[in-house]
Structure 1
Amino acid sequence: MTGPGRERLSLDPALTRRGAVDGAWWPATYDAGAELPALIAAIDQHLQLRVLRVGLHVDIWHNIPHRIAAPGRYVKVGWFRTIDPHVVNLITRGTEHLNLLIIPPGTAPAAATNALGLATRCRRRTRAGDILTAANHNGASGVTAEQEQSLAAWDNEGGRAPQAAPGEPTS
């Protein structure tokens, strides 16, 4: 799935389920009826799995259909207020589920490229919103290995700032 010269989907190649997300998706709009068919087709093709259901946050998306036609089936679409607004949930045959970070459609290309990469590398309990924040903050320069490690260590229950070592200046 590609846009005008830019990648719009990234997936953790191992799908090890070690992170909060299994990849990222950069839709062109928040029109679910227009965007979801291409995402479903890309996941079907890329993973050789069939998407059976999609879950979205109702307050983020518009034009959300009840189901979407896909080759040989209809994919049910559910909308919720309890799902992370930065995530689309895909249930596939053979896999419990996939959570993809949603990169907002208006995101600058450099930040979107960063987020596409970070979403496949951040492990543990890093929240989707934290990945977007890091990608936007470092959109032009890239995220350093130290920043990525700090992001991966961010506590999921409210976070905590890294502590300076004794004798180091605080920012």
Structure 2
Amino acid sequence: MSTPLSTPLSTPLRATLSTPLRTPRPAASRVATLARVRLMPGDGPRLVDGAWWPRSVDLMAELPRMLRALPHSWPQIVHVTVNSAMWSDFPGRMLIANHVLQLHRGTGRNTPSTVCLLAPGRGRWDLLVIPPHTDEAEAMRLMAGAATP
């Protein structure tokens, strides 16, 4: 199930963090803090709701960055399911912005290269996860395809 919570295709690929930086950082440092997320516009049933291209396989570093880049209109995500084979080891939960996020390991064919974001009673969003080592041109093609209705 998807809800009308998405970013139009015209939105830049790199979304900035929602928390402002307190001290100016060099441009190269700021680029490393940007999440590479693209969301499909509109509402309705679909296989994926967008794509995420993390910079590393460290879920504990990448997930908070991605969640902060989601639209402010989205409800609070409470559960996240990822393919455990794709990520370095991670705990069953983590604290992000003073709320506990439950992390679940998926190993079946339902989660081969996706992340499932769940806000109970509010919605579920499945994003294609593009491996961090993917060539930039290929990653951009995959992200555009995942965000096209």
Q: Is the structural similarity TM-score above 0.5?
A: yes
1:91 aligns with 2:130: no
Match of 2:42 among 11, 14, 38: 14
**Structure showing the higher helix proportion among its residues:** 1
Query: Which string of whole-angstrom CA distances, capped at 9 and with x for unpartnered residues, describes residues 38-70 of structure 1?
Result: 112222x44432111100111111132211212
Counterpart Cα distance in 2 of 1:22 and 1:67: 23
Greater Cα shift, 77-86 or 88-97: 88-97
Query: Which string of whole-angstrom CA distances, capped at 9 and with x for unpartnered residues, describes residues 22-52 of structure 1?
Result: 0000000111111111112222x44432111
CA separation of 1:46/1:15 partners in 2, compared to 1, >3 Å: closer, same or farther? Answer: farther
Query: Which string of whole-angstrom CA distances, capped at 9 and with x for unpartnered residues, describes residues 102-154 of structure 1?
Result: 011011111111111110115xxxxxxxxxxxxxxxxxxxxxxxxxxxxxxxx
Letter in 1 for 2:126: N
SS of the residue corresponding to residue 33 of structure 1 reads helix
Match of 2:127 in 1: 100
SS of the residue corresponding to residue 78 of structure 2 reads strand
Counterpart Cα distance in 2 of 1:46 and 1:109: 27
**Structure showing the higher strand proportion among its residues:** 2
Match of 1:29 among 41, 46, 56: 56
8 Å CA contact 2:53, 2:130 repeated in 1: yes
Greater RCO between the two (CA within 8 Å, min separation 6)?
Answer: 2
Larger Rg: 1
8 Å CA contact 1:32, 1:65 repeated in 2: no
8 Å CA contact 1:37, 1:68 repeated in 2: no
Counterpart Cα distance in 2 of 1:27 and 1:78: 18
Percentage of pairs with the same residue: 29
The count of residues paired between Structure 1 and Structure 2 equals: 120
Give unmatched runs, 5+ long, in structure 1.
123-171
Give, in angstroms, the shift of residue 7 of structure 1: 6.7
Q: RMSD over aligned Cα, in angstroms?
A: 2.3
Give unmatched runs, 5+ long, in structure 2.
1-14, 17-29
Counterpart Cα distance in 1 of 2:131 and 2:69: 19
